[in-house]
Copies of this chain bind each other. A is one copy, B any other.
Amino acid sequence: MTYWLRCTDCGREYREGEVEYLCTACAGTGAAGTAPRGVLRIEYGKVTGAVPDESYSDSRRWHVLLPLRSPESMPPLPVGPTPLHRAERLGKELGLARLVVKDDTVLPTGSLKDRASSVVVAKARELGRDTITTASTGNAAVALAAMAASVGLRAVILVPKTAPIAKRTQMLVFGATVVPVEGTYDDAYALSLEATRVFGWYNRSTAYNPLTVDGKKTVAFEIWEQLGRKAPDAVLVPTGDGVILAGVHKGFGDLRDAGLVDRLPRLYAAQAEGSAAIVRSLDVEGEEVPGLARATTIADSISVGVPAAGRWAKRALRETGGGGIVVTDGEIVEAIALLGRTSGIFCEPAAAAAIAGARKAAREGLVGRDETVVVLVTGNGLKDVAAAERAVRMPEAIVPTVEALGEALGGELKPPMDTDGHR
């Protein structure tokens, strides 16, 4: 659909194609160490055409609200719809009668990032760009590598050389050009921007490329459709750099602009205690989001010092009447097992932060017992089995007899006696 861009900080507007990444007027003007200014919002104006277009079953059904010339530009790996589960047993444990879990663990590479990468790769095809780059250590780069592989484009991933071997391996399996960099993530990020300029590549770095927010928003569209074309009362979003939160906000915002919902759900950012820049900033007046010198949490996907979409996220929490929830690493680990045993879904630590956040939100009365509350489960637990090991206890081995088995199960089961009273 045709669109224009508007700066979320200074309001300056740009025609499609006039600028590719941040606002040229205000990017770089913020205080050092705070969330950057100049993230652009994609605007569609009055929507003409059916939302959704039911001739497609996957995310192409939202093409009227996507910044692409044609839905056919999207890669063949289908993105969504992912299941929306009425989580009755989990809800019972949390005291929420209408708890709903949005399960993005079953997306092509196992994380919500596939939504953004699919749209960015589609755009690269429309622009005739053959190489897409990003700095990343995780899910976003894996998603980019897979989507690029599926259409034969080149992905150049710049990672700090200390990035986890599992994620680097996955990118390499997808044939991406993975370049380990001596230095930090910030060094890799700076290099990706310079390489973009010098080599003419297309850049997918999150929030920097405004299409990343617009790709992630399809999760909101699906929730709306799966709830019977209604917005929920509240959505809990695992939050690091704020881009998923911005995406959910944008999705419901687009639906409101199109006259399809009359209010936005309250949005809640669930952040890990050691990486809570956005939630902490709610105590700071104005729109500034001070960064952290160092973020630490077991939930690597939301471990972020200076959040790229922090300012947008902060505004979204305030504007919708939601707020922030901080959880500990211990609560995150517990929540992996809680979701697993009540629903059969295995999530990574970042997603578990939102489950732990739901428990806290219910206890503190942020959400009401009978409200429709959606928790975003953003990533697959298979991406971080080591974290899950901390959530469970491996029992002792037994000798292979039914007697030993009965005993191992707490003695509540005994082999029946035979007619002579023997076991």
In the complex, are the beta carbons of B337 and A191 less than 8 A apart? Answer: no
A172 within 8 A of B: yes
User: Do A389 and B165 touch across chains, with their CB atoms under 8 A apart?
Assistant: yes
Contact present for B401 and A344 (CB under 8 Å): no
Docked-complex contact A337 and B173, CB < 8 angstroms: yes
A217 interfacial by beta-carbon distance below 8 Å: no
Q: How far is the CB of A391 from chain B (nearest CB, A)?
A: 6
CB-based contact A400/B182 at 8 Å: yes
Which residues on the B side are within 8 Å of A341 (C-beta)?
Answer: 149, 173-175
Known: A392-B172, A397-B161. A346 touches B146 (CB 8 A): yes
Question: Contact: B191 with A149, CB < 8 Å?
Answer: no
Which residue on chain B has the smallest CB distance to residue A393? B172
Those of A390-417 within 8 Å (CB) of chain B:
391-402, 405-406, 408-409, 413, 415-416
Whether A89 pairs with B152 at a CB distance below 8 angstroms is: yes
Chain B hits for A107, CB < 8 A: 106
Known: A169-B388, A170-B385. A198 touches B402 (CB 8 A): yes
Give the CA-CA distance A175 to B337 in the complex, in Å.
Answer: 7
CA distance A336 to B341 in the complex (A): 32
Q: Any chain B CB within 8 A of the CB of A183?
A: yes
A150 at the interface (CB under 8 A from B): yes
Q: How far is the CA of A157 from the CA of B174 in the complex (A)?
A: 34
Contact for A78 among B83, B195, B394, CB less than 8 A: B83
Q: Are B392 and A180 in contact (CB under 8 A)?
A: no
Is B77's CB under 8 angstroms from A344's CB? yes
Q: Does A109 touch B at the CB level, under 8 Å?
A: yes
Q: Of A25-33, A296-304, A375-383, which stretch is located at the interface?
A: A375-383
B391 near A178 with CB under 8 A, answer no
CB distance from A289 to the nearest CB of B (A): 26
Is A187's beta carbon under 8 Å from chain B?
yes
Residues of B within 8 A of A242 (CB): none
Complex Cα spacing A166 to B76, Å: 31
Given contacts A161-B397, A179-B398, 4 further A-B contacts (CB under 8 A): A77-B345, A165-B389, A173-B346, A173-B388
Residues of A within 8 A of B (CB): 75-78, 83, 85-86, 89, 106-110, 145-150, 152, 156, 158, 161, 165-166, 168-170, 172-175, 177-183, 187-188, 190-191, 194-195, 198-199, 336-337, 340-346, 380-383, 385, 388-389, 391-402, 405-406, 408-409, 413, 415-416
